[in-house]
Amino acid sequence: MSENASSADGQGTPTREAGGVRLRQVLSQLPAYVPGKPASAPAGVTPYKLSSNENPYGPLPSVLAAIGQGAAAVNRYPDMSVAALTERLSRFLDVDAECLAFGTGSVAVLSHIITAACDEGDEVVFAWRSFEAYPIATRLAGAVPVMVGLDEQQRHRLDAMAAAVTDRTRVVLVCTPNNPTGPCVHADELEAFLDRVPDDVVVVVDEAYVEFVRDGDAVRGLEVWRRHPNVVVLRTFSKAYGLAGLRVGYAVAHPPVAAALRQTATPFGVSSVAQLAAIASLDAYDELAERVAGIVAERDRVAQGLADQGWKLPASDANFVYFPLGTDSADFARACEEAGIMVRRYGDDGVRVTIGETEANSRLLEVAGAFGAR
């Protein structure tokens, strides 16, 4: 190796040295995925973690029992075909089993989609700000992220996204409700958008928070998928189902696309414990739905309380609220942390706060009131 810090491979792609090892130059260009900070608080103050959009409730007893059952066999590889969960979920969603593909969280399935669809230099279109894994997964696949800014209400500008589609576009990502800002995409908006997108472009409807949606005009991903062969619906067991620590995500896609996602997936990616917990969660859906309804009620209480204080925030159909504070973001995040609430700051764009325990949500209202509406 030369003494230069970077060189080029046979195709002119820059590489970089790391202790004498040549690594891809794209690694130095990747934005960092920033996890939510753990809970901490001053002495005598109960800390709350509202930084990761986690479900504040622990697993149901029946789900815990399934986890214990799976733990007894962790010396064995899981079923790579995810057969039992596939069969149970296909009945739950009323879709054919061949239309399902799984991964270690929906973020992994997202990577499988982009890997399956994109060659070097192809483009992936998505709104920004949106889920921060989008540009990372895109660049790691060798594709080019095309980021289209949100409107003043922090919603997707689907007309602008359609205009951004080119001959090199292979995937479009539509996050609804949008993480981190909260608004959902409406069904008529998405249908008009799909009319403008070529049929050979994969359109991903990312519904990680779909269980929290109450807007009657919102997209219903599975209904859209049934009408459009190029649509893929992305969902997770991490949020409403409270299995964030077990990493189970899935896609609903038409058979050729679903087969490609299974082909690009990490072998044995979804553990036996995770598969059993997901099945038990589907079996206990009515109980989980009550918990989700409670979180939605708390979200609405927080939103109304903030509105009463004079805050003008984006409408959220997820399990969080978003403060588009610009350069005030750091001060607001600091005020929350000083009160024992860990939140998620997005640079100088804004701050996202997960709906958590009742006490945590009430404390957020206190901090927001003292900070003053912006």
User: What's the pLDDT band for 39 if we cut at 50, 70, 90?
Assistant: confident
Distances (CA, A) of 310 to 304, 313, 322: 10, 9, 14
The pLDDT mean for the chain works out to 93
Dump pLDDT digits (tens) for 187-244: 999 999 999 999 999 999 999 999 999 999 999 999 999 999 999 999 999 999 999 9
As a dihedral over the C-alpha atoms of residue 43, residue 49, residue 55, residue 58, rounded to 10 degrees, the angle is -30
DSSP annotation of 99: G
Q: How far is the C-alpha of 198 from the C-alpha of 231, rounded, in Å?
A: 11
With a cut of 90, say whether residue 36 has pLDDT above it: no
Helix H or strand E segment including 343: none
Q: CA of 142: how far to CAs of 7, 139, 161, in Å?
A: 18, 5, 21
Residues 6+ apart with CB under 8 A from 110: 133, 134, 137, 173, 204, 206, 234
Q: Which of 347, 356, 313 is nearest to 31 (CA)?
A: 347
Domain 33-57+285-371 has CATH 3.90.1150.10: yes
The Cα 278–Cα 131 span in angstroms is 23
Average pLDDT on 48-68 reads 95
CB atoms inside a 10 Å sphere around CB 370: 10
Please say if the pLDDT value at position 59 is more than 80.
yes
Quick: pLDDT tens for 145-199: 999 999 999 999 999 999 999 999 999 999 999 999 999 999 999 999 999 999 9
d(CA 213, CA 200): 29
Q: Of 200, 202, 125, 180, whose CA–CA distance to 157 is shortest?
A: 125
Per-residue confidence (pLDDT) for residue 15, from 0 to 100? 56
Return the SS3 of 122. coil
Q: State residue 3's pLDDT score.
A: 35
How would DSSP label each residue in 42-56? STTS--EE-SS---S
Cα 352 to Cα 54: distance, rounded to the nearest angstrom: 12
Does the predicted model carry a pTM greater than 0.85? yes
Tell me what pLDDT residue 28 has. Answer: 85
Tell me the C-alpha to C-alpha distance, in Å, between residue 182 and each of 122, 150, 191, 212, 317.
Answer: 29, 12, 20, 11, 6
Tokens of 354: 């997960």
pLDDT band at 264 (very low <50, low <70, confident <90, very high): very high
What would the mean pLDDT of 275-304 be, rounded to a whole number? 98
Packing angle, helices 358-371 and 329-338, rounded to 10:
130
**Sorting pLDDT into bands at 50, 70 and 90, what band is 19?**
low
pLDDT (0 to 100) of residue 16: 56
Establish whether the linkage from the previous residue to 177 is cis, with ω within 30° of 0.
yes
Q: What is the CB-side half-sphere exposure of residue 111 using CA atoms within 13 A?
A: 16
3-state secondary structure of 290: helix
Following DSSP, what letter does each residue of 142-169 receive, concatenated?
Answer: T-EEEEEE--TTS---HHHHHHT--TTE
For the chain, the domains span 33-57+285-371, 61-283
Smallest CA-to-CA distance from 318 within 207, 209, 218 is with 209
What's the pLDDT score for residue 43? 72
- 38 vs 232: CA distance, rounded Å: 33
DSSP assignment letter at 323: E
Whether 351 and 327 have beta carbons less than 8 Å apart is answered as no
Starting from the edge strand earliest in sequence, which strands make up the sheet with 21-24, in order?
6-8, 14-18, 21-24
- The CATH number given to 61-283 is 3.40.640.10
Question: Could you tell me which residues come within 8 angstroms of residue 332 by beta carbon, excluding any fewer than 6 positions away?
Answer: 323, 325, 343, 351, 371
Token pair recorded at residue 62: 């029946």
Residues for the chain: how many in total? Answer: 374
Task: Write down the pLDDT at residue 332.
Answer: 98
Residue linked to tokens 């399990």: 319
Predicted local distance difference test score (pLDDT) of residue 12: 44
Q: pLDDT over 90 for what percent of the chain?
A: 87
pLDDT bucket at 5, cuts 50 / 70 / 90: very low
Position 110, amino acid: L
CA angle, corner 75, sides to 73 and 80, nearest 5?
A: 80
